[in-house]
Amino acid sequence: MSHTFPQEKFNADHPVISVYPDAKTASIDVAQRIASLVRAKQREAEQVVLGLATGSTPMYVYEELVRLHREDGLSFRNVVSFNLDEYYPMQPDSQQSYVTFMKKHLFDHIDIQPDNVHIPDGTLPKEKIKEYCLAYENKIAAFGGIDIQLLGIGRTGHIGFNEPGAERYSKTRLVELNDVTRTDAASTFGGKEYTPTEAITMGIDTILAAKKIMLMAWGTGKAEIVKKTMESEITAEIPATFLKTCEQVEFVLDSEAASSLANLEV
């Protein structure tokens, strides 16, 4: 297939910003890069640990990974996955659960081993959550950390469900969802009154420990928060700004999401 390379902008004070003409082109390139790492690790008989996101942003990435499995024989048997988050409370067979999302868009269509899939458990009694979250952190560490972490970005600047006010050194934990986040999710749940008020999420420190982080943002609806993230000081009020402190971070944008950035040709 023909390959479209992004424009890359390097700045000592910021992560790499890769701008693509559209979301699908960007997503295919992200998926191809994941596939390259998976294959490289297979040649060394090693596992790959992927940090996975949900929502509309990564859907084309998963679509391309499924295509690579079906048409090019890409195997995921050496892949271990950890999802960023899950609503709480949430039954795994619920239509709105991230377990259902991941099965529908990726896991049911590839050969990843079920025991290698990890998604936060939204069914736990509250008194068990703290212990569970510590175990989630320890399991990531036991696999040697996350090799590639995929992220989207919410209108609040959240990454995972780390909402404004989240601490830089936060770990996996139960959090309260921001009102904007719940409003954005309301249509999925049939109304805001039915939308969960809490979620279990990887912490900011958990995310930043990944060896490579790719934050993806598509469309004009994300242009404002992308601009705020890139042009603001590092602040807990925009959790995504913490990404700018790490060299392994890449902002993967389509031209619309990048359209409000100053001094950037798109």
Residue 207: alpha-carbon gap to chain centroid: 9
Q: Which DSSP string corresponds to 221-253? A: GGHHHHHHHHHSPS-TTSGGGGGGG-TTEEEEE
d(CA 164, CA 202) in angstroms, rounded, equals 15
Task: Identify the active-site residue in 64, 137, 163, 256.
Answer: 163
Query: Are 18 and 214 within 8 A, CB to CB?
Result: no
Look at the block and give the residue holding tokens 């024989």.
73
- Per-residue tokens: 100: 């259902």
Whether 163 is a known active-site residue: answer yes
Residue 86 DSSP SS3: strand
- Are 90 and 48 spatial neighbours (Cβ–Cβ below 8 Å)? no
Q: In the chain, count of helices (H) and strands (E)?
A: 7, 11
Q: Which residue has the tokens 């902008």?
A: 9
Of 119, 141, 146, the C-alpha closest to 200 is 119
Query: Whose structure tokens read 């609806």?
Result: 221
Sign of the alpha-carbon dihedral angle for 143, 148, 152, 157: positive
Helix (H/G/I), strand (E/B), else coil: 123:
coil
Residues annotated as catalytic (active site), given as ranges: 163
